Structure 1
Amino acid sequence: MKKVIEALERFAIEVISERRWGHRATLLRWFLGFLSILYSWGVSFRLWLYQKGLCKSHPLGCLVISVGNLTVGGTGKTPIVEKLARDLTGAGRRVAILSRGYKSRRPPFFQRLKEKLQGRPSDPPRVVSDGRHVLLDSELAGDEPYMLARNLPNVVVLVSPDRVLSGKYAIRHFDVDTLVLDDGFQYLPLKERLDLVLIDTESPFGNGKLLPRGMLREPPKALQRADVLFLTKCEGNDLSALKAQLRRLNPHAPFVECVHRPRYLEEVFTGIRRPLEFLQGLKVGAVSGIARPESFENGLRRLGATLVYSRRFEDHHRFTPAEIQRVLERSRARLAKAVITTEKDAVRIPALPVRPPLPLYFLRVEIEFLRGAEELERRLQRAIQGPGRSQIQRTEEAKNPNATAVVSLS
């Protein structure tokens, strides 16, 4: 059944991206186009309800930073969330990351029943990390929250579709003064926040159509709500036309140009690290379950690797030992010396029952700001010193007037 569902997902993605043609594909495109009209009406109506106050937005009384985008997947939010959380923590802030936990598995029924009988909230936030220990695996936490928790030892990571609930929980139980919303641009119940919106310069609006006919969650005009526009994958691209288009949609938000920079390779099962030069002239296989696998594979080629085999799974696919073993064996049959995956995929790779025939590495990628970081620092500093400061922070500043943190995005 799982394979049938994934095959249908793959067919739908190929139809949406216009890589599949024929009578069935044409009919599905027409049907999806009709659904996208209904979806557009729903998006507009929901925004109107919040703008008119018929649906309530809640302030949380502390610094709230939302990192999001207009399209589904592929813009690289997680490295930016990680960098912001690390830099804010380094500046003395107590940070919690609030994630929706996309495709994470809910706790067992009896565990939820026990929590309800104990008087706890019926669906409390899942604590992926308490800032000291990682408490959940990737299946219960979700890929991105688990990866963030593993890479940020001093940051609290919570998972819940209700970010107002998890924000209050983080403030009450972990004494935080800064909340970072992972994938939060469309989350309207939480107000008084700094909205950072990512734009992929290689495909800023997909095919220009809304879900489910296209990849847009909202029309491009929604960018007028953004406070800062992050332009990703900027290196070597002429951005003048895109910037002009974005400036018409949002005349006030500054641009931050950045690139996702590969740093090193790490062996999935042993933790052994190798420099990027290891890939020069090396025959490799690639395995991934992400929204845009072609971007990952092209990145390996730019690093000097020769790609002799690739296996693409659906986004957030949970690998089995048999699947990974087959990828390794087929890569070896094509004379590959290693198999490379992404860091996000690596957290879903299970232990193998036998010794792998080839080493399996993930590519560590970090965000690097090219231009505009100074303006982002100013916006963050303004938000830190603004009316959204928590009562905890006001008390600390009363004790020590010079304690205000200075955020540096190094």
Structure 2
Amino acid sequence: MSLRDILERTEQYTVEIINGRNRNRLDRCYRVFLFLLSRAYRNVVQLRLTLFDNLLLRQHVLGCFVVSVGNLTVGGTGKTPVVELLSRTLAGRGRRVAILSRGYRSKPRPFWERLRARLLNEQDGVPPKVVSDGRGVLLDSSQAGDEPYMLARNLVARNGSMGVAVVVDKDRVKGGKYAINHFQADTLILDDGFQYLRLRPWINILLVDSTNPFHNHEALPCGLLREPIKNLRRADYIFLTKSNGGTHLRHLRRFFRRCNPRAEIIECNHEPCYLQHVLTDERQELAVLSGRRVAAISAIAVPESFENYLTALGGEIVYRKRFVDHHRYHERELLDFCAEAVRQGAEYLVTTEKDAVRLPPLPVDIPPFYFLRVEIKILSGLDAFHKCITRICLS
């Protein structure tokens, strides 16, 4: 068993524990251990925030408008479509937009390149990775990371429209300076930036999954919270994603109003648009799944939401395969999935757009393989969204 397999199995076991698994004494002991780590982590996070609030740690200010988009929890809020919508709208209004990402689980720069920069004491060190310059995609998903590659591919210039640059670096202050100097960016979108306090945002956008806002209310690693819930007071706009009009939304709104009276609340939903072949630009209407036998494969934080889409579209899921979030597929895994899907009589193979960028070469003689394209739709608070866009464009 490889180290990657061990780490993924440990991650999966931890997820099961924090989701309530309690089969034996080992499970209970491990949960107590996670709880103790969670308390320590929460205190460290809050101390760090206090240091920034009291100017004991420095926040950098760059010479352009910075918009932070992030979560209180780990994954599952549907952040990437919101970043895409925001970037496309701003670019359409004439802003020079660059997205700054840390490139989670992307390949680091070659060791020799990093060593050379350090030995030569180069002022800026190793430059950030440019996933897209706005005109074309320059890196693949393994080098860039899943979400940056998706954003770069969907936001390149088309039909005379202005494209969006995508820059990856753990040091997003450095990434922001690079985007300003090389792409003349006047608007920086800080992807997954709610906890990135070194770069001061002009607008803080917080995403909350309305179907599971704060999981079990515990911080990592005993829960999914990255920081205490009370810190949502930093948000200027709160996007309630996966909204379905349920009565629980009224309670959520009241809770947010008590914690943060100044924040604008925007309800939105992620809606399937079409199916696209994982290898080509061929698209199919969603209705093609109605009454069909479907095999689903995914490695995302909340696979149930993806599978529920397929069921709602009339598909019958005859086989499903789930991996941990951001899993990078091996060829053997894909072969096994396709073989089992065929044995179960699947007529279509379907995955998510994020998973599609991580697939190895496809085997031959398999059913049609598509990814489900999902886009954000604002259900309420559209005026607040447009005011946010105007506020940025008039800066």
Code of the aligned partner of 1:229: I
Query: Is there any run of 5+ residues in structure 2 with no aligned partner, and where?
Result: 157-162
How far did 1:175 drift? 0.5
Q: Which of 295, 311, 323 is the matching residue for 2:321?
A: 311
Match of 1:362 in 2: 371
Report sequence identity in percent: 50
Match of 1:399 in 2: none
Match of 2:149 in 1: 146
Q: Is the 8 A contact 2:68 2:191 kept in 1?
A: yes
- Output the CA distance in 2 between the equivalents of 1:272 and 1:242: 40
TM-score by length of 2: 0.95
Deviations 1:150-202 (A, max 9, x none): 11001100011111111111001111101001100011111142011011110
State the secondary structure of the residue aligned to 2:376.
strand
- Output the CA distance in 2 between the equivalents of 1:254 and 1:114: 48
Are positions 1:108 and 2:117 aligned together? no
Query: Is there any run of 5+ residues in structure 1 with no aligned partner, and where?
Result: 387-410
Q: Which of 154, 159, 169 is the matching residue for 1:160?
A: 169
Match of 2:134 in 1: 131
Match of 1:266 in 2: 276
Are positions 1:290 and 2:293 aligned together? no
Deviations 1:93-144 (A, max 9, x none): 0000000111111022123345555946323211111111211111110000
- Output the CA distance in 1 between the equivalents of 2:334 and 2:201: 45
TM-score by length of 1: 0.91
How far did 1:235 drift? 2.1
- Output the CA distance in 2 between the equivalents of 1:112 and 1:358: 44
Q: Which of 23, 27, 30 is the matching residue for 2:25?
A: 23
- Output the CA distance in 1 between the equivalents of 2:360 and 2:114: 26
- Output the CA distance in 2 between the equivalents of 1:360 and 1:192: 41
Code of the aligned partner of 1:194: I
CA RMSD, aligned part only? 1.4
Count of residue pairs brought into register by the alignment = 385
Match of 2:311 in 1: 301
Q: Which of 116, 119, 124 is the matching residue for 1:121?
A: 124
Match of 2:234 in 1: 225
Aligned pairs for 1:204-219 (under 5 A) are 204-219=213-228
Q: Is the 8 A contact 1:33 1:213 kept in 2?
A: yes
- Output the CA distance in 2 between the equivalents of 1:251 and 1:79: 26
- Output the CA distance in 2 between the equivalents of 1:271 and 1:27: 50
How far did 1:356 drift? 4.2
State the secondary structure of the residue aligned to 1:172.
helix
Larger deviation, residues 221-230 vs 242-251: 242-251
- Output the CA distance in 2 between the equivalents of 1:20 and 1:132: 52
Larger deviation, residues 203-212 vs 103-112: 103-112
How far did 1:249 drift? 1.1
Match of 2:68 in 1: 66
- Output the CA distance in 1 between the equivalents of 2:245 and 2:313: 15
Match of 1:183 in 2: 192
Match of 2:159 in 1: none
State the secondary structure of the residue aligned to 2:104.
coil
- Output the CA distance in 2 between the equivalents of 1:128 and 1:11: 33
State the secondary structure of the residue aligned to 1:339.
strand
Match of 2:341 in 1: 331
- Output the CA distance in 2 between the equivalents of 1:356 and 1:9: 34
Match of 1:349 in 2: 359
Q: Is the 8 A contact 1:269 1:351 kept in 2?
A: no
State the secondary structure of the residue aligned to 2:205.
strand
Q: Is the 8 A contact 1:63 1:384 kept in 2?
A: no
Deviations 1:65-98 (A, max 9, x none): 1110100000000000001111111100000000
State the secondary structure of the residue aligned to 1:218.
coil
Q: Which of 339, 342, 350 is the matching residue for 1:340?
A: 350
